[in-house]
Amino acid sequence: MKELGKFIIEGGRVLKGSIPVSGAKNAAVALIPAAIMADNDISTLDNLPDINDVKVLIDIVGQLGGKVDIAEEGAIKIDSTKLSSYQALSDSVKKMRASYYLLGAFLGKFKKAEVIYPGGCNIGVRPIDQHIKGFQALGAKVITEHGVIKVSAERLVGAQIYLDVVSVGATINIMLAACRAEGITVIENAAKEPHVVDVANFLNSMGANIKGAGTDVIKIRGVEELRGCTYSAIPDQIEAGTFMIAAAATRGDVTLLNVIPKHLESITAKLVEMGAKIEEGPDTIRVIGPERPNAIDLKTLPYPGFPTDLQQPMTAILSAAKGRSIVTESIYEGRFKHVDELKRMGANIKVEGRMAVIDGILKLSGAKVCASDLRAGAALIIAGLMADGDTEIDEIKHIDRGYERIEEKLNSLGANIKRVHTDDEEK
């Protein structure tokens, strides 16, 4: 396999200054499939992050016959007038998790969909049974053949759907299909994440009729037509949280611009418990890091609980906190792969099942480590910033999937992170 670049991080620098937060990855990857549901129309999506997952999805839309123009920085125009394929079978589809949103979008638009089983970060089993249950409740037949999920329906009819687990993906996917079903669909035990609300707002701007997004009961009245519109993605809660943790980890003083502080409440609460000072403005948040963070206990939960996507960065900062922290991962069973890498840097962490017991040491020491997935990569960047000496992070392709030029943003705050390419890689 080709090596895809490394980060070399000089540890010990204090982060200071202000940086803008990009549009939300997990909103963007659902907004693009939603946009292709416009009937013979063009949508403009604004504030999209410049990350590999978005690029891959744009390529897929192109392969399907859609026309995507990069309008200006962060904005794309999606013309789905000529998009007539309901089959997403290319290798790029396999690369990302969010390609499953093409199932809901195609099913709503064409009443049939064929999509390769999705890939994404290796953080646990990640079934999609709740998506399938939702499609079936709307009247679709679902089969999986040779790694392809095939969904088809004569008609889609609104239904009452109770999700057995709170799932962001299933909530959004059912919402997409149900927009074009006959009658009313009710999703109970729905996910409440900010990007669920964002996708519902976008669909409503396209002419859908969705009520209750952001609560655990969402009601969707099917409509005959969806039209194109212009829409701006929300700021990325997880990118913002990552920078908040990085600021706290380096005794920094960092102001994040273009954020929605309400979306960051669970992170703010934990950082305050750790001794950080936080100042909120209408769309900014300032984090002043403590001399050394206090140990805390943390459990990941669906929104508005503490997000699983920030558990790994949080483990990194806690590995040098004062005392013992207990981190419980309740969403994914395999999201502690970063711990072995933190141990290379001297961390004292024991993982038992879904729990990590972290005994804070005085200082991590720089080492050669490897990013196993996107947020493990973010955790290692934070560890590298805190550590004594240099840290080399391999497999940064995972980080590029979900963070927009993270090294440039952190360097503008005073970090020293170099991206090192190797001769044989694709630049």
Q: How far is the CB of 49 from ligand EPZ (least distance, A)?
A: 11
3-state DSSP helix/strand/coil % of the chain, to nearest 5: 35, 30, 40
Alpha carbons 157 and 184: distance in angstroms, whole number = 8
> Is 371 a residue that touches ligand EPZ (CB under 6 A)?
no
**Beta-sheet strands, E only, within 202-283:** 209-211, 217-221, 230-232, 253-257, 277-280
Window of 123-131, 154-162, 204-212, 242-250 that interacts with ligand EPZ by CB under 6 A: 123-131
Q: Which residues, at least 6 apart from 130, have a Cβ–Cβ distance to it below 8 Å?
A: 163, 164, 165, 167, 169, 170
Alpha carbons 152 and 103: distance in angstroms, whole number = 10
> Is 165 a residue that touches ligand EPZ (CB under 6 A)?
yes
Please identify which of the residues 121, 179, 229, 370 carries the catalytic annotation: 121
> Is 402 a residue that touches ligand EPZ (CB under 6 A)?
yes
Q: Which is nearer to ligand EPZ, 140 or 331 (CB)?
A: 331
> Is 274 a residue that touches ligand EPZ (CB under 6 A)?
no
Under a CB-based contact definition with an 8 Å cutoff, are residues 104 and 131 in contact? yes
Site string for ligand EPZ, 89-108 (x = CB under 6 A): --------xx----------
Q: Which is nearer to ligand EPZ, 122 or 209 (CB)?
A: 122
Helix axes 25-35, 194-205, angle to 10 degrees: 30
Q: How far is the CB of 63 from ligand EPZ (least distance, A)?
A: 20
> Is 48 a residue that touches ligand EPZ (CB under 6 A)?
no
Q: How far is the CB of 115 from ligand EPZ (least distance, A)?
A: 14
Alpha carbons 227 and 217: distance in angstroms, whole number = 25
- The token duo for 272 is 């305050």
**For ligand EPZ, which residue of 5, 19, 24, 26 counts as binding (CB under 6 A)?**
26
> Is 201 a residue that touches ligand EPZ (CB under 6 A)?
no
> Is 21 a residue that touches ligand EPZ (CB under 6 A)?
no
Count of residues engaged in binding ligand EPZ, rule: CB under 6 A: 27
Q: How far is the CB of 230 from ligand EPZ (least distance, A)?
A: 23
- Nearest of 221, 205, 231, 315 to residue 270 by alpha carbon: 315
Q: Which residues, at least 6 apart from 257, have a Cβ–Cβ distance to it below 8 Å?
A: 18, 19, 20, 21, 283, 284
Q: Which is nearer to ligand EPZ, 259 or 320 (CB)?
A: 259
**For ligand EPZ, which residue of 167, 237, 255, 319 counts as binding (CB under 6 A)?**
167
> Is 69 a residue that touches ligand EPZ (CB under 6 A)?
no
Under a CB-based contact definition with an 8 Å cutoff, are residues 116 and 140 in contact? no
Q: How far is the CB of 13 from ligand EPZ (least distance, A)?
A: 26
Taking phi over 0 as left and psi of -120 to 50 as alpha, with beta for the rest, 27 belongs to alpha
Q: Which residues, at least 6 apart from 146, have a Cβ–Cβ distance to it below 8 Å?
A: none
Window of 57-65, 148-156, 164-172, 416-424 that interacts with ligand EPZ by CB under 6 A: 164-172
Under a CB-based contact definition with an 8 Å cutoff, are residues 189 and 162 in contact? yes
Cβ atoms within 10 Å of 1's Cβ, excluding its own: 4
Under a CB-based contact definition with an 8 Å cutoff, are residues 402 and 374 in contact? yes
Q: Which is nearer to ligand EPZ, 125 or 362 (CB)?
A: 125
Element (DSSP H or E) covering residue 362: none
Examine the residue annotation and report whether 121 is marked as an active-site residue of this protein. Answer: yes
Query: At 338, is the secondary structure helix, strand, or coil?
Result: helix
Element (DSSP H or E) covering residue 286: strand 284-288
Q: Which is nearer to ligand EPZ, 87 or 130 (CB)?
A: 130
Q: Which residue is nearest to ligand EPZ (CB)?
A: 169
> Is 270 a residue that touches ligand EPZ (CB under 6 A)?
no
Q: Which is nearer to ligand EPZ, 112 or 133 (CB)?
A: 133
Site string for ligand EPZ, 328-357 (x = CB under 6 A): ---xx-------------------------
Q: Which is nearer to ligand EPZ, 22 or 26 (CB)?
A: 26
**For ligand EPZ, which residue of 121, 159, 320, 413 counts as binding (CB under 6 A)?**
121
Window of 73-81, 213-221, 303-311, 342-350 that interacts with ligand EPZ by CB under 6 A: 303-311
> Is 131 a residue that touches ligand EPZ (CB under 6 A)?
yes
Alpha carbons 181 and 173: distance in angstroms, whole number = 13
Alpha carbons 251 and 255: distance in angstroms, whole number = 13
Helix axes 25-35, 52-63, angle to 10 degrees: 10
User: Would you name the residues annotated as active-site residues?
Assistant: 121
Residue ranges that bind ligand EPZ, judged by CB under 6 A: 26, 29, 97-98, 121, 124-131, 165, 167-170, 191, 307-309, 331-332, 374-375, 402
